[in-house]
Structure 1
Amino acid sequence: MQARIFLRDFEVPCFIGIHDFERGVRQRMRFQFALTVARLVPAADRIELVLDYDYLRQQTLALVAERVFDTQEYLLGKLVDIVFSHPDVLAATVETCKPDVYPDSGGVGCSLSLTREEWQQLRQSGQWWQQ
């Protein structure tokens, strides 16, 4: 069995981009999170028995509050780190999107899907940035 929870279309203004016209200006970013968790249906109706979505929202908001990112790819990696900071997450797909880049498209972005084991192996091998 695979149990999944998600946070869809989470829009946050971020300082992101490499071009001069992007510097110092917040741009709308849209995030998608789909998390595979060990258990979905709790034994009792209590929030401490489930993965609370607030941790994902709050930590994402804290990450982008004042920090400036050049690339979505780096931001994506930091979001994946947030996801796996919760011990109940077994696997995840995280997506970033800048919806306002081109007038003729719904957005540009990137996505990453991996298991906790894959994430840990990448970190241990030095292939995952750790700053």
Structure 2
Amino acid sequence: MFSALSHPSLRHCRRLFLRNYEVMINIGVHDFEKLGEQRLLINVDLYIPLAESTPRMDQLDEVVDYDFIRTTVASRMARGHVQLQETLCDDLVAAMLAHPRVRAVRVSTMKPDVYPDCEGVGVEVFQIKDEA
């Protein structure tokens, strides 16, 4: 089975990540889900070429700042209700890939409180930026 992470364009990349970022969001298609917020865990991996993320002067502007990830997530959350986790993941992936240094991104979301007999339900998307 071919792993996306072995794709040639991801060689020589640095991976930045945000793990289990907990947000309260109005998400869901059911009427009861539209009445209030629920807990959502968000994970993001950004793949950035080493040539564009290896600091020479130990300065923040030489790398992709972690704040970019959190600000991008917060910006999407501020847009209001979303029905599907798939939509949210796709929106976040598109926003992350818009950064000129980001080559690929993986975003996952998980609702941890939906079912009492499992850790959670969620969606994951992985996309490599088109090389043009």
TM over 0.5: yes
Q: Distance in 2 between matches of 1:19 and 1:115?
A: 32
Matching of residues 1-16 of structure 1 within 5 Å: 1-16=12-27
Question: Which is richer in strand?
Answer: 1
> Paired residue for 2:8?
none
- 2-side partners of 1:20 and 1:6: how far apart? 33
Question: What are structure 1's unaligned runs of at least 5 residues?
Answer: 121-131
**Aligned positions, number:** 119
- 1:67 is matched with 80
Cα distance in structure 2, aligned partners of 1:115 and 1:19: 32
**Deviations 1:31-87, CA, capped at 9 Å, x for gaps:** 111111012331111111110011111121121125111110011110101111211
1:82 to 72, 90, 95: 95
Matches within 5 A, 1:26-41: 26-39=37-50, 40-41=53-54
Structure 2 gaps, min length 5: 1-11
Give the deviation of 1:10 after TM superposition.
0.7
Task: Name the % identity.
Answer: 38
The letter for the 2-side match of 1:17 is: G
Question: For residue 94 of structure 1, what is the aligned residue in structure 2?
Answer: 107
